[in-house]
């Protein structure tokens, strides 16, 4: 009988994580490094990879490489894919974590529906959905050839549920249509791929609930009030889901969207 420790062991496997230097990306890198995986860290040009790589070496003695890539650009994606494939390291795990979330001052983004622009819609779709499709397609041959090949797409509660606009009243925050639509598409792409590239590659999604990031007090209070667990998430709340789906703990699990939302979606 295989032990849990054996099922969790990612020694000899390599994971590519997009958005690797962000809050969730750093947690994912740390989690997979603890389980023994080597890492290929991908993020936007100008990202400071070295503090993360140093931390991973010091804590887990893991090997990591980094690649800059603006996922909004097809040409940069092609260059990153070529570099990742060309280094001979193979790939066992692909995590599509990077996301276009915009900012409050981005034109046509956090504005009433009638004012949301096609330009910001296209940018969100390119990063959140098209780039994920592109990377899944490009790396599927490598994942098919690898032990435990799998893909994890990072969705959102807003890929499954409409926004509760009462949460945002009196704040500068918002919930653009493009974000929810792109995440909903990513969740459906997960299901589509799961039946298409099986049995060689497993494909699952994680849909996070709201993560506490010093949002306005009124937003946090309202969000917490409609969450059964009575709080917003922290990055650590997603470690177990990432470890489970990336490893052989979930070797008979595919096509699933794991909501890690404190029960938010049940009300």
- For range 60-64, the mean pLDDT: 96
- For range 100-123, the mean pLDDT: 93
76-88 pLDDT tens trace: 999 999 999 998 8
- For range 218-234, the mean pLDDT: 97
- Give domain status of residue 136, yes or no: yes
Helices (H), the chain: 4-8, 23-34, 50-60, 74-86, 118-125, 131-145, 177-196, 217-225, 239-246
- Give domain status of residue 114, yes or no: yes
CATH code for the domain in which residue 199 is found: 3.40.50.720
Task: Give the whole-angstrom CA distance, residue 91 versus residue 88.
Answer: 9
58-68 burial string, b = 16+ CB within 10 Å, else e? eebebebbbbb
**Total of domains in the chain:** 1
| Domain extent for 42 | 4-261
Task: Give the whole-angstrom CA distance, residue 160 versus residue 209.
Answer: 11
Q: Counting beta carbons within 10 angstroms of the beta carbon of residue 204, is it exposed (0 to 12), middle (13 to 18) or buried (19 or more)?
A: buried
Q: Counting beta carbons within 10 angstroms of the beta carbon of residue 51, is it exposed (0 to 12), middle (13 to 18) or buried (19 or more)?
A: exposed
Q: How far is CA 86 from the centre of its chain?
A: 24
Whole-number pLDDT of residue 58: 97
DSSP per residue, 19-38: TTTSHHHHHHHHHHHHTT-E
- Give domain status of residue 167, yes or no: yes
- The kind and range of the H/E element at 152 are strand 150-154
* pLDDT at residue 27 tops 90: yes
Query: What's the pLDDT band for 103 if we cut at 50, 70, 90?
Result: confident
* pLDDT at residue 105 tops 90: no
- Give domain status of residue 266, yes or no: no
- Give domain status of residue 253, yes or no: yes
Is the bond preceding residue 233 a cis peptide, omega within 30 degrees?
Answer: no
- Give domain status of residue 267, yes or no: no
- Give domain status of residue 93, yes or no: yes
Phi-psi region of 111 (alpha: psi -120 to 50; beta: other; left: phi over 0): beta
- Give domain status of residue 250, yes or no: yes
């Amino acid at each position: 009988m295989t032990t849990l420790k054996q099922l969790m062991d990612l020694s000899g496997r390599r994971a590519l994580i997009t958005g690797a230097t962000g809050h969730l990306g750093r947690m994912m890198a740390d989690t997979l490094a603890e389980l023994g995986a080597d890492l290929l860290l991908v993020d936007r040009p100008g990202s400071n990879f070295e503090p993360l790589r140093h931390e991973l070496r010091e804590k887990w003695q893991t090997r990591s490489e980094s690649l800059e890539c603006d996922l909004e650009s097809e040409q940069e994606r092609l260059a990153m894919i070529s570099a990742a494939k060309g280094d001979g390291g193979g790939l066992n795990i692909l995590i599509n974590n990077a996301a276009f979330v915009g900012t409050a001052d981005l034109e046509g983004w956090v504005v009433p529906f009638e004012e949301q622009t096609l330009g910001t819609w296209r940018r969100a779709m390119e990063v959140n959905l098209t780039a994920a499709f592109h990377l899944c397609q490009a790396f599927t041959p490598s994942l098919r050839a690898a032990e435990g090949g799998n893909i994890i797409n990072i969705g959102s509660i807003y890929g499954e549920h409409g926004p509760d606009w009462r949460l945002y009243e009196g704040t500068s925050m918002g919930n653009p249509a493009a974000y929810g639509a792109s995440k909903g598409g990513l969740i459906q792409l997960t299901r589509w791929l799961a039946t298409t590239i099986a049995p060689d590659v497993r494909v699952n999604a994680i849909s996070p609930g709201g993560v506490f990031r010093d949002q306005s007090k009124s937003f946090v209070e309202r969000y917490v009030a409609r969450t059964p667990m009575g709080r917003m998430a922290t990055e650590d709340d997603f470690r177990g889901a990432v470890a489970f789906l990336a490893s052989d703990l979930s070797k008979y699990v595919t096509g699933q969207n794991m909501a890690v939302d404190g029960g938010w979606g049940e009300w």
